[in-house]
Structure 1
Amino acid sequence: MVETGTLRVTRKHLLQGAALSAAFLIGAIAPHVAHAQQRPIPETSDDVRRVPIPPIDRSKEPVVVLTGGTLLDGRGGAPIANAVVVLQGDRIVAAGPAGTPVPANAARTIDASGLWILPGLIDLHIHFTQQRGTDMGRYSDSPAAAAIRGTILADQMVTAGITAARDVGTMDDVALRIKEAVDRGMIRGPRVLWSGKLIASTGGHGDEVTSTATGREKPNLGGDPHGVDGPWEWRKAVREQVRRLSDWIKISAPADKEELAAAIEEAHSLGVPVAIDSYGQYTDWAIEAGVDTLEHPLLLSDKAVPLMKKHGTAFVPTIGAFDNLLEGGYPTAGIPSGGFYYTHSRRFVINQQDHLKRVNEAYRAGVPIGVGTDIPFENEWRYPDAYFRELDYLHQAGMTNADVLASATSVGAKILRMGDKLGTIEPGKIADILIVGANPLDSLKNLRDVRYVIADGKLVVEGRAR
């Protein structure tokens, strides 16, 4: 207590006064802070985190010109015959019909006559660390082994024209290090956006002691739970992933309503989007809480699609991952065909026709649909075929070729939160470009006829792909 003459001031009064002063100051400066935050940052990292970086001078970077091809720029207009595309460094500086100005100092001109030029493809659901070779069971798994598998997968993807990928759950920091290695030109691969570790409740999907479908116990879990419980733990788990430089947050079901809402709110408060692997009522709860993407069409309720439309939720169906499970399983991983087995968080039947029906329902409702593969095993021969098969599944679900191609490029970029940098061929965008031998609007199979791949401005494939 402080005494001044006849005035008595208690510690409580001092604290109350300090609080009122602080509130007044915050109220006075908040509009100015908000205004400052709205000012665009001139240069940011080319990922979802949008970290401010020093200005980049690209004026001395080599100029590459594409001529003669038919351009599908991804903006929804008609194909542009005899097009010109000008690249400098990692950016597109011009794109349009013949007559588009071309710098005199071009380091290289690529004649794309008779070919089709389009934006690089995007895979929104992969796991770099889950690739398995035919005899990987002989070896103990580790982050080093996962990094080897992931590096191989990265090369498989980019040489097929997949120039951006979102990893939605990884071992340790493997996907982050693959991202950095691609950025630095150490390895070939797509632009990587990673989600860190899957956040699950104790015993939930991603934290079960037994592995999906096989029933075998995971030696790295045993009696040591890795899940998180209660809204505060879910918030803390989100903060930890953001601290680890995650571009996205990945959560899973089952979880209670408050846990899902807490994780989504926390991520959004930090400017990071959220994907969920879910089913049933948990899906409805997550959509209502504002989750950004729903992964998989598993056990969707009749309310799910209307809720997605209402809340602006995007859908990444990964249809092929479940058709593989139904039609042949994953023999080298010891997973039989027919469905999920031995998995507590997968106690329901999967049905391919129902999945296609749900995708069609979402498509007709105007829900944004992206392309994701989610092939957990046998990637050494399932990629890149799995990606092109996924496009065919979307077509089977009722989507037009043009809309499937948009899902793989411009729509996928928007879902990825990278629509201002990827997904279309126009000035200012990142130079991720695929050139194929025939019109993909006539047949999506023509995307397999890769002639050139340019990723981040670098020529990755020249001539027919392997």
Structure 2
Amino acid sequence: MLFCCALSQAATPSGKASQGKLTLFQGATLIDGTGAPPRADMDVLVEGERILRVLPDAELAPAVRAKAKAIDLHGRFLMPGMIDAHVHLATPPNTRQAEAILRRDLYGGVTAVRDMADDLRPVGELTRASLVGEIPAPDIYYAALMAGPDFFTDERAGQVSVGGTPGHVPWMQAITKDTELPLAVARAKGTWATAIKLYADLPADLAARITAEAHRQGLLVWAHATLYPAKPSDMVAAGVDAISHACLLIREPDAHVPGWNDPHAPVDLTKFRHSDNPALARLFNEMVRRGTILDATLWAYSADTDGSTTMPPLPPGSCDDTVGGEITAQAYRAGVPIDAGTDFIGDWTDQWPDLFHELATLAAKAGMPNDAVLKSATLISARAAGQQRDMGSIEPGKLANMVVLARNPLADLKNLRSVLMTVKRGRIYTRNAFVPLTKDDITDR
């Protein structure tokens, strides 16, 4: 009886748009994310949290116009909400920092993120809080990690498994040839993960078996491009949905890839500096055939990350954003779908999403044109997260996840910093309501 009464008295979540309520985003220049050219004087009619209609303003019936709350966007640009396809919100867990970064993302136009394996206990709570509007944050889609036993001596495995044994918690499992895979995948699925992430110390045949079982149980599979010893072509042949890190593709031409704990001989990076490596050409052709997404994470390999507290510095002579950019350029020209993910937390003084750094790097280092970069941050990243039916473009039936800009992002990616408002699931977050981050927001307490 008490349970019943508590439910009956519960308030409507503040972050959810009222069902049946009509909002008209009127007269914008629409960049809809489908690849169509921008269209001027367009309307987007939203009912609750979903897009009802997209049409020229002149074609909207007066009766519909009279019923809707109108937001005048003449002279403004309207594009899909952006998606950061590679974040880590809880390695180690720091809820204050995660909420601050998510708030910065949302008020900068990012309406969803793909968390690539963490302590899923706090990530699950952040996901719920965002969904019901308790915190201003993008929606979160996350992975449970699987790797070989040798990985779980890594310090990070302990950080995300407090209270349990690394490798033996549902969100971080050590897998061997003797593992009962249906049960292991079911345990991971019980965390409400969208995907399994394959990380390290896995041979090709075992990676393929995990992938097949995950797909059978309705989960996506996201993988590091090289698992040591499995190489990128092994991952693609296994049928994974996305592979991460352009710089991990440098192992593809090798006849033998060492194990996770074996010595890793340096790679001759000159083989990749002209975007014409023949081994990668074969790999990319197969990725195009299968629709495998490349999660390039170029910014994570740049000099910007030298002072990072979230990842180790790159050894001298290792793959960097220049080499990774050439690899990504070759992939782009081959037709490989490339998402936009950061895998790094920028300086707290930057008041814009970390994603903007990745977009700029895709343009500068991989030579991708602005329209392709925006597609990476919207429709392709939605595919990477398994959410393309609901996100990534402005179309009827999809969630009302949109960004209003004062200036045209196709003309200059820096214009993404002209955000006036973000719309997530039909709710409006105006940029002038954003409270800038402080050092306390990103510091352990």
* TM-score normalised by the chain length of structure 2: 0.78
Partner of 1:290: 239
1 CA distance for matches of 2:160 and 2:391? 40
Give 3-state SS (helix, strand or coil) of 1:129's partner.
coil
The aligned counterpart of 1:452 is 421
Report the Cα distance in structure 2 between the residues aligned to 1:119 and 1:219, rounded to whole angstroms: 33
Aligned length: 378
Residues 183/219 of structure 1: CA separation in 2 closer, same or farther (3 Å cut): closer
Please give the alpha-carbon distance, in whole angstroms, between the structure 2 residues aligned to 1:395 and 1:464.
30
**CA separation in 2, counterparts of 1:126 and 1:62?**
33
1:54 alignment partner in structure 2: none
1:273 paired with 2:185, answer: no
The residue that corresponds to 2:35 in the other structure is: 76
Unaligned 5+ runs, structure 2 = 1-16, 168-172, 253-278, 437-445
Q: Please tell me the residue identity of whatever aligns with 1:446.
A: N
Deviation string for 1:360-402 (max 9, x for gaps)?
1110111111000111x55634673421111111112021111
From 369, 375, 379, give the equivalent of 1:400. 369
In the alignment, what sits opposite 2:306?
328
Offset, 1:234: 7.1
Offset of 1:65 from its aligned partner?
A: 0.9
- 2:175 equivalent to 1:245: no
| Cα distance in 2 for residues equivalent to 1:177 and 1:224 | 21
Gaps of 5+ in 1: 1-57, 131-140, 341-347
> What TM-score, normalized by structure 1, do the two folds share?
0.74
CA distance in 2, matches of 1:398, 1:450: 24
Amino acid at match of 2:315: G
Which residue of 2 is the match for residue 26 of structure 1? none
Letter in 2 for 1:77: A
- CA deviations 1:228-249 (Å, max 9, x no partner) are 2323527243221112211111
Structure 2 match to 1:67: 26
One-letter amino acid matched to 1:429: K
Partner of residue 95 from structure 1, selected from 14, 38, 54: 54
SS of the aligned residue for 2:411 comes to: coil
Q: 1:363 to 1:449 in 2, by over 3 A?
A: same
What is the alpha-carbon distance in structure 2 between the residues aligned to residue 384 and residue 111 of structure 1? 25
1:305 matches 2:284: yes
| Distance change >3 Å, CA 239–CA 164, structure 1 → 2 | same
**d(CA) in 1 for partners of 2:85 and 2:389?**
17
User: Residue 314 in 1 paired to residue 293 in 2?
Assistant: yes
The offset of 1:411, in angstroms, is 2.2
The separation in 2 between residues aligned to 1:220 and 1:414, in whole angstroms, is 29
Change (3 A) 1:256 1:381: farther
2:334 matched residue in structure 1: 365
What secondary structure, in the 3-state scheme, does the structure 2 residue paired with 1:438 have? coil
**Per-residue deviation at 1:275?**
0.4
CA–CA separation in structure 2 for the residues paired with 1:231 and 1:283: 20
Establish whether residue 230 from structure 1 lines up as the match of residue 206 from structure 2.
no
Kept in 2: contact 1:116–1:435 (CA 8 A) = yes
- Cα gap change, 1:369/1:234 in structure 2, threshold over 3 Å: closer, same or farther? farther
- Asked whether the equivalents of residues 66 and 109 of structure 1 are also in contact (C-alpha less than 8 Å), the reply is yes
Structure 1 counterpart of 2:215, one-letter code: H
Post-superposition Cα deviations, 1:256-293, rounded to whole Å, max 9, x if no partner, equal 12221111011100111110123274322111110100
Residue of structure 1 equivalent to 2:74 = 113
1:218/1:458 CA distance change after superposition, 3 Å: closer
Pairing 1:209–2:177 present: no
* 1:339 maps to which of 298, 315, 331: 315
TM-aligned CA deviation for residue 164 of structure 1 = 1.1
C-alpha contact (below 8 Å) 2:108/2:353 kept by paired residues:
no
